[in-house]
Amino acid sequence: MSVLAVEVPYWGQSLLRVLGGIVAVLLPAGTIVYVFLFKMMSFMQSRLGPMEAGPYGSMQLFAEVGKWLQKEDLVPDGADKPIFKIAPLIVLGSTFLLVAAIPFGPDAVFTNFSAGVFYALAVSSISVIGILIAGWSSANKYSLLGGLRAAGQLIAYELPLVLAVVGVVIQAGTMNMQGIVVAQNEGSMFGWDGLGNPFVITQFIGFVVFMISVQAELTQVPFDMPVAESELVSGYMTEYSGFRFLTFFIAEFATAGVFSLIASVLFLGGWGIPFAWFGWDGIDDVSNWMNVAGPLILFTKMMLLAFIIMWVRFSYPRLREDQLQTFAWKFLIPLSLANIAVTAILKVAV
Amino acid sequence: MMVPVLLAASEVNVALNVAFGVLAVVMIGAALFVVTTKNVVHAALWLVIVLSGMAAQYLLAAAEFVAVSQVLVYVGAVMVLFLFGIMLTRAQIGAEGNLNNPGWALGIPVALLLLGVMGWAIIDLFGDQTIEEAPGGASTQAISDQILSPYLAPFLAITFVLLAAAIGAIVLARKD
């Protein structure tokens, strides 16, 4: 790999990848919190939101982080201390593992896993362990209930999430994320290649199921029973304060950003623009400047999807616990299975 | 004798061999903690480390798909269900008494016997043979080609076993 005609040694590449991964996780998280959580929610409620720190309150996030870091790191007396302390780090760590599979440009990839999507779905399930043990080790009944609710919900919605992706994998013919991006941008709709073939059109059912499952996996309203404040105080986060609460908070929005990135790669064409626009023949033919423009394009698509997630979050009331389970098992899973069957038949027949 | 048995393709892959050794030590240590810890939830968490170490070993062997499956099935599903079940029934914090089965000492010779038999079988079968690396590294595609053509019948048989298990679980769980 060479950056600006300078040959980078292996350790330098690894360092660059780690730094890039940190940026790719924290930048979307910060942007989502400021633009949507602080500003959009305030405007929807006819108020201004934070205005004091920096122009239009744009430095509010740094003030918040500073505030949380100053607070005492409380651990309940009856808690299982080492596990209580490590739990938020497991949740945030799974987000960092998740970003490794996402391609940001023709050469701007962290790893080019041949089973990229499968990897992303697998490591996203690690965070459940962190949430469960956070709830258990707090020595608090509300926390334990929240942790159990979270586990039940995340297991239930993991299935439609995986099954919705299967349709995309069948249509693209590969599990490699880079391959899925290329398949969408090289493709054409009935011979017209002005838009490529973004899977959001052909896999619309898969897209809707995927976004609903993501909403539930992120425990965002209307699926926020694990932290339902009117029933469980704060669910599995009840006993956390200071730096460890901050870790959970960052993980929540960083995962929202990373799942939006994955959804843009799977359904909106990822970093790419239709290759026909510039007459590129394939991935090897793509111009080098796409390594700079690609991340920006992907970031724009990510913001669009994150907007939808947050819009739903601020618009709907919470579902009931049994409605949530019924919705996953009796509606989403059969629907995504039917989607797989139809996609497979069309793939073979057409 | 010992060294060629323990180490993969000798001179070239020094880093791989070092990583294998480190992971093996961590896994053995964690496995010992699984059986010696005084708390059921801690035992389950040490088991998570053993199973993740297994996934890392698969990655070192360039078996990407198997490694990811290991994480998805064992860490993501089986261990979460273990923890879920433990926390629903006996979610005690701190040391518990009487966790050991009265016949626990019998486990040691059985484990050693299994290790001996499996180790002997593998050494007898492969000796110092080197397994060739798959060209191109498109192992995911190779696995699916293998499953859906020569191994189709066993694959379908396994799916029927799983279906039967799922139906059985539903029958057991129904109240009427």
In this structure, of A84-98, A123-137, A187-201, the range with the lowest mean pLDDT score is A187-201
- Tokens 């064409």 belong to A269
Coil/strand/helix, residue A192: strand
Average pLDDT over residues A329-348: 89
- Token reading at A82: 């080492």
Alpha carbon distance A300, A87 (integer Å): 32
Judgement on whether residues B142 and B173 belong to the same structural domain of the protein:
yes
The answer to whether A110 and A119 have CB atoms below 8 angstroms apart is no
Domain housing B174: 138-176
Judgement on whether residues B90 and B157 belong to the same structural domain of the protein:
no
The answer to whether A147 and A233 have CB atoms below 8 angstroms apart is no
Judgement on whether residues B1 and B76 belong to the same structural domain of the protein:
yes
Coil/strand/helix, residue A93: helix
Single-letter amino acid, residue B20: F
Judgement on whether residues B4 and B39 belong to the same structural domain of the protein:
yes
Please determine, for residue A173, whether its predicted confidence score (pLDDT) is greater than 60: yes
What is the distance in angstroms between the Cα of B136 and the nearest Cα belonging to chain A?
Answer: 11
Cα of B158 vs its chain's centroid, Å: 19
Is the residue at B38 inside a domain?
A: yes
The closest CB to that of B140, out of A83, A114, A132, belongs to A114
Size of interface A-B (CB pairs under 8 A): 85
Average pLDDT over residues A258-284: 83
Is the residue at B48 inside a domain?
A: yes
Judgement on whether residues B123 and B176 belong to the same structural domain of the protein:
no
Name the residue ranges covered by the structural domains of chain A. 2-349
Contacts of A276 (CB under 8 A, 6+ apart): A188, A193, A194, A196
Closest residue in A to B64 (Cα) is A115
Alpha carbon distance A228, A208 (integer Å): 24
Contacts of B139 (CB under 8 A, 6+ apart): A114, B62, B63, B64, B65
- Token reading at A114: 């041949």
Alpha carbon distance A203, A169 (integer Å): 11
Closest residue in A to B73 (Cα) is A122
| Angle between the N-to-C axes of helices A126-137 and A81-99, in degrees from 0 to 180, rounded to the nearest 10 | 160
How many CB atoms are located within 10 Å of the residue B141 CB?
16
Single-letter amino acid, residue A172: A
What is the distance in angstroms between the Cα of A217 and the nearest Cα belonging to chain B?
Answer: 13
Judgement on whether residues B125 and B150 belong to the same structural domain of the protein:
no
Name which of A120, A121, A152 is nearest A135 in CA terms: A152
The answer to whether A236 and A138 have CB atoms below 8 angstroms apart is yes
Q: Where are the alpha helices (DSSP H) in B37-96?
A: 40-60, 64-70, 79-89
Mean pLDDT, chain A, integer: 84
Closest residue in A to B83 (Cα) is A132
The confidence score (pLDDT) of residue B9 equals 53
Which is it for strands A6-7 and A2-3: parallel, antiparallel or unpaired? antiparallel
Is the residue at B3 inside a domain?
A: yes
Judgement on whether residues B89 and B148 belong to the same structural domain of the protein:
no
Name which of A247, A297, A344, A319 is nearest A105 in CA terms: A297
The confidence score (pLDDT) of residue B117 equals 95
Quick check: B91 and A144 CB within 8 A? yes
Judgement on whether residues B122 and B151 belong to the same structural domain of the protein:
no
Q: Roughly how many angstroms between the first and final C-alpha of chain B, as a whole number?
A: 62
Residue A109: beta bridge partners?
A103
Check which CATH number belongs to the domain holding B88 and give it. Answer: 1.20.120.1200
Quick check: B80 and A132 CB within 8 A? yes
Interchain contact B59–A (C-beta under 8 A): no
- Overall number of domains in chain B: 2
Q: Which residues of B touch A139 (CB under 8 A)?
A: 93
Judgement on whether residues B88 and B14 belong to the same structural domain of the protein:
yes
> What tens-digit pLDDT sequence spans chain B (176 residues)?
344 445 555 555 677 788 888 999 999 999 888 888 888 888 888 999 999 999 998 888 777 888 888 888 888 888 888 888 888 887 677 777 777 778 888 888 998 999 999 999 988 888 777 766 666 555 777 788 888 888 899 999 999 999 999 899 889 888 76
Residues A29-49: pLDDT tens digits?
888 888 888 888 888 888 888
Contacts of A340 (CB under 8 A, 6+ apart): A163, A166, A167, A170
Judgement on whether residues B166 and B119 belong to the same structural domain of the protein:
no
Residues 94-133 of B with CB under 8 A from A: 94
The confidence score (pLDDT) of residue A69 equals 87
This prediction's pTM: 0.85
Judgement on whether residues B38 and B72 belong to the same structural domain of the protein:
yes
Please, what sign has the CA dihedral across residues A42, A47, A53, A58?
A: positive
Judgement on whether residues B4 and B26 belong to the same structural domain of the protein:
yes
Residues 106-135 of A with CB under 8 A from B: 113-115, 118-119, 121-123, 125-126, 128-129, 132-133, 135
Between A338 and A3, where is the model more confident?
A338
Alpha carbon distance A163, A332 (integer Å): 10
Q: Roughly how many angstroms between the first and final C-alpha of chain A, as a whole number?
A: 40
Interchain contact A151–B (C-beta under 8 A): yes
